[in-house]
Amino acid sequence: HPVLALAAAAQSRGHDVRVVIPARFLPVATSLGLSVVPFPEDSDRAMHQMGAGLGSARRALRWFASELQRQAEFLLEAAAGVDLLLGTVTDTAAPTVAEARRLRFVRLAYTLVLPGRQPPPLIPWVSLPPWLNPLAWRLINGAAGLLLRRPLNELRRGLGLDPVGPIADYFAGAGPTLLGVSPLLAPPDPTWSFPHA
């Protein structure tokens, strides 16, 4: 539970922490003494039922697009009164909510979702030559832009925010990415240009 571990560490250093997680993680979060806002379970289950391969990438992108408005409404309320919003890679609306609320935003990645020479998640061809992986990332980011840019910009327009450009910039460039991955097993590509730690 990387999010809960980070939240507990921040709380032990004197920060007030509010965690938005699926209700099934409540026992673990409350055992750590964390204040929790439970998120509806169905979206979390949907993410875990996508499988792998090209079909799963397509299902994931459609799910992200359909979840935008619901996530935004939920997070706008949950983020009232906070000064930093930490989101994961599935929190599609989080960078927009942070911008609308004028919050600092940090993205947590605990799987390697940084474009580069490693294969993208959800793609089965992990044994292809590494030089093909940047092309796979471009294809995924292009498809993500086609599916997500319109509903995302409609959401942002309703919040009085400027539209987004390249979708990869929206996800990776909204704030620094905190990498919860092994630097030995999954180091970020040296060509990755966005801030990360």
pLDDT at residue 138, rounded to an integer: 81
Nearest alpha-carbon partner for 143 in 77, 80, 57: 57
pLDDT at residue 33, rounded to an integer: 93
pLDDT at residue 183, rounded to an integer: 73
Instruction: Spell out the residues 6+ positions from residue 109 whose beta carbon is closer than 8 angstroms to its own.
Output: 88, 89, 177, 178, 179, 180, 181
pLDDT at residue 123, rounded to an integer: 62
Chain segment 88-134, per-residue pLDDT in tens: 877 889 999 999 999 999 888 876 666 667 777 666 656 677 788 78
Chain segment 132-149, per-residue pLDDT in tens: 878 877 887 787 777 788
Mean of per-residue pLDDT scores for the chain:
80
* Count of C-beta atoms within a 10 Å radius of residue 7: 23
What does the DSSP assignment read for 27-46?
HHHHHTT-EEEEEPHHHHHH
b/e burial code for range 89-113 (CB count within 10 A of at least 16 → b): bebbbbbbbbbbbebebbbbbeebb
pLDDT at residue 121, rounded to an integer: 67
pLDDT at residue 171, rounded to an integer: 82
Measured distance CA(124)–CA(18) in Å, rounded: 36
Which pTM was predicted?
A: 0.77
Query: What's the mean pLDDT in 158-180?
Result: 86
pLDDT at residue 49, rounded to an integer: 54
Q: Which residue has the higher pLDDT, 123 or 26?
A: 26
* pLDDT interval class at 32 (50, 70, 90): very high
